Every structure is written in C-alpha cells, then in structure tokens.
C-alpha cells in the first residue's frame, strides 16, 4: 500500500522518483521516497560504494546583512567567529531561553554579509519564526531569505539539494559532472561553489548525515532534474529514507524531535562539544545553560542476541527493573546485523553496563555503548 498524504509537499524530483518506481510516503508533510527496492541493499551501497538521496525538503536559508555575523553570534550556541574563510561550515544548536534545543543546524560562511543555514525539514517554519523574533529583540539589521520551494518569495529562486554519500561518492560525482572536479580539494565540513556550463552555480558541501564521505549538492530547483539524471547516468543509484535512517543511526547522528528537543540541553544529548561558553560571547540560552544540571545522557544500545527493534519511547531499565531512561531511536543495523538504538538515560549510567529494554511487552537485554556504532563503513570497537 502506498503510504502518502494527498496534501503532502513534493520536491522538484518527485516525478523522477515515481519514474523509477520508488515507494513513496509522507515524511514530515513531504511526499518522499522511502525505498526504491531493498532498503538493506541501498544501505550497503552507501557503506560500500555510493548512493544519492533527494534532500530538497531540507531548508536552505540565507542570512544577509551587515549584522549577519553579530546576529548569528547571538543566535547560536557555537561560536560563529570560527568561520573565517568562505565555504567553511559550522555545526551548532539553536537554543530557547531555557537552554533547550530548538533545532540543530549547519551554517556556511559565504561572505561577511551572507551566511547559509540548512535547517531540518519539519522544523524550518518554526525555526524561521523564532529567528525573526530574535532579529527584533537583538536590533540587528539582517534579512532572512528562505530558499525552499514552499517558503520562497516571488523575487527569490528556490533551491534543491541532493546528497551523494559513500566512500566512492566524490569520485563518482566528478565523473558524472566534470565541472565539479573543482571541488576536489574541499576538506570535510567545508564547501565551495563551482560553475557548470548547463546548470550554472552548484554548491558542493562535504557534509552529510550517513557517517560516510560525500557531497551535499545544492542547485537551483529548476535544474534539479538535470543534476539527478547526470548522477544516475553515471551509475549512482538512488536511496530512500529508510536507508537514510539506518545509516544515520549507525553513525550516531541525532534527529531533532526524537533524540533531542526543547526539554534537553546540548549537554544532555552529548553535544556539549558544539557549545562555546567563552566569557566574551553571549547567546540565547547561555545563562540558563550554565545554571542547569545535566539531566540525562544520550547513549547507544547494542542489543544482545535479538533482532527485535526497540520503538521510540520504549522504557530502558536497570537489571533490577528500575526505569532509567527511554529509547529515542531504534533500528536494525544492516552493517552490524543486530538491533541498535539511541537512548536518553540517567547521567550516572556507565558505558559497558547491561540494561534491559521493553520491546513489545518483552524485556530484551542490551549493552550501553558510546555512539557511533559504525564509522567509515566499519564497526566501532567491539560491540
């Protein structure tokens, strides 16, 4: 049965997905491909070779103005001052006044008066409303320019995004579109613009959420089909969001709304490294963040001798039966061939501890481990 919503939004590549018989479903209000065939095969293709994802539902947002740097310095928990060269990227959380996570995002330095932020799809409209409130409160002179097709204004062209991920991703992109080879020297968590004779400007960012190397490629939405066809013609297969979810969970990547949210601080979910508490800077939520105690920790769970997948909100218990936390994301790991999960548990639980999780009314044993489960296609440590 086709799991869809007649009112869901569609990306510029919707017809291409239908053409190759993708299984479509409603993903956060977007009609997106969840698999084109076997999601296990798509997962392994990313780990062993390369595959591509349509991520045009993510929202590229340009922050423009003479006060852009000052505004982002106040808005983000990480220090925008670290971005000193065009193309450099920064990961950060955007916090509420209580120090809770509104969203996590990546910001790219394009120029002193223009930064590009990539917002998570479902949170984009809410994020933009919050940012507009902060513009008023800060008195900064900046303009927010959403570039997603459902949010653009009449005088702005929409963008689309395709993520090509895997150990062979970059070389396959270069072969598919020779103009992109200008990005050969781009380092991880950096980006650059290249010019293609057919589609014009392309932004290639060496980022992604699969735990593999590759590019997130941004282009004008009207050229998305051409780029997609060029990549497919060169042998890069398409992968859907079921594979994306197993890949990101193996890589220990967070999803807002599941693994973190307004009630959790970055320190509660293992993202303290992305917070800069330097004395000379202030940001929304800093004072509250410094005052609050760590309420939880985000850990990995490796299930022992069971293929049963824990559902979100499944209770995590000590061996004595005390509830010590809850599962935030669970899946079957195709790479490890075992069930894994991320869970928010008490901050005093030690790595290596044995716990149990309630899975379909049964208690299943699991080991507490540090994410990620997989790095560069290989298991991390002994699970």
Name the phi and psi angles at 321, rounded to 5. 95, 5
- The neighbour count for residue 336, using CB atoms within 10 Å, is 16
- The neighbour count for residue 103, using CB atoms within 10 Å, is 22
The conformational region for residue 21 under phi > 0 = left, psi -120 to 50 = alpha, else beta, is: left
Q: 17-26 — which CB contacts under 8 Å span 24+ positions?
A: 17/54, 17/238, 20/238, 22/238, 22/240, 23/240, 25/241
The C-alpha torsion from 96 through 100 and 106 to 111, rounded to 10°, is: 30
Query: Do 192 and 109 form a contact (C-beta atoms < 8 A)?
Result: no
DSSP 225: H
Q: Is 216 labelled as part of a ligand binding site?
A: yes
Angle between helix axes 241-250 and 39-48 (nearest 10 degrees) is 50
Tokens 């009449």 map to which residue? 154
DSSP sequence for 183-207? GTTPPTTBEEEEEETTTEEEEEE--
Largest CA distance in the chain: 65
Burial 251-263 (b: 16+ CB within 10 A, else e): bbbbbbbebbbee
Q: Binding site for substrate: residue ranges?
A: 216
Residue list for the binding site: 216
């Amino acid at each position: 049965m086709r799991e869809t919503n007649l009112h869901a939004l569609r990306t510029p590549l919707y017809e291409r997905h239908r053409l190759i018989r993708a299984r479509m479903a409603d993903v956060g209000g977007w009609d997106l491909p969840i698999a084109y065939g076997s999601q296990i095969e798509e997962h392994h293709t990313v780990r062993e070779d390369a595959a591509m994802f349509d991520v045009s539902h993510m929202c590229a947002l340009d922050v423009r103005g003479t006060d852009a740097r000052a505004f982002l310095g106040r808005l983000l928990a990480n220090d925008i001052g670290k971005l000193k060269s065009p193309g450099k990227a920064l990961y950060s959380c955007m916090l509420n006044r209580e120090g809770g996570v509104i969203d996590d995002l990546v910001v790219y330095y394009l120029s002193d008066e223009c930064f590009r932020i990539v917002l998570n799809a479902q949170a984009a409209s809410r994020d933009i409303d919050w940012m507009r409130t902060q513009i008023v409160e800060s008195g900064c002179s900046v303009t927010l320019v959403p570039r997603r097709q459902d949010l653009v204004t009449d005088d702005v062209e929409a963008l689309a995004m395709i993520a090509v991920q895997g150990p062979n991703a970059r070389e396959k992109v270069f072969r598919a579109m020779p103009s992109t080879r200008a990005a050969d020297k781009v380092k991880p968590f950096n980006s650059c613009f290249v010019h293609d004779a057919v589609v014009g400007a392309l932004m290639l960012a060496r980022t992604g959420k699969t735990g593999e190397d590759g590019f997130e490629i941004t282009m004008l939405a009207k050229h998305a089909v051409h780029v997609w066809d060029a990549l497919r013609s060169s042998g890069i297969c398409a992968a859907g969001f079921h594979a994306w979810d197993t890949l990101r969970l193996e890589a220990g990547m967070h999803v807002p709304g599941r693994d973190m949210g307004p009630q959790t601080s970055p320190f509660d979910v293992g993202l303290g490294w992305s917070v800069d508490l330097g004395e000379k800077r202030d940001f929304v939520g800093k004072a509250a963040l410094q005052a609050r105690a760590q309420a939880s920790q985000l850990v990995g769970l490796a299930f022992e001798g069971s293929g049963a997948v824990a559902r979100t909100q499944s209770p995590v218990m000590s061996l004595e039966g005390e509830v010590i936390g809850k599962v935030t994301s669970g899946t079957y790991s195709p790479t490890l061939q075992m069930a894994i999960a991320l869970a928010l548990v008490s901050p005093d639980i030690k790595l290596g501890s044995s716990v149990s999780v309630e899975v379909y009314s049964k208690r299943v044993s699991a080991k507490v481990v540090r994410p990620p489960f997989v790095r560069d296609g290989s298991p991390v440590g002994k699970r």
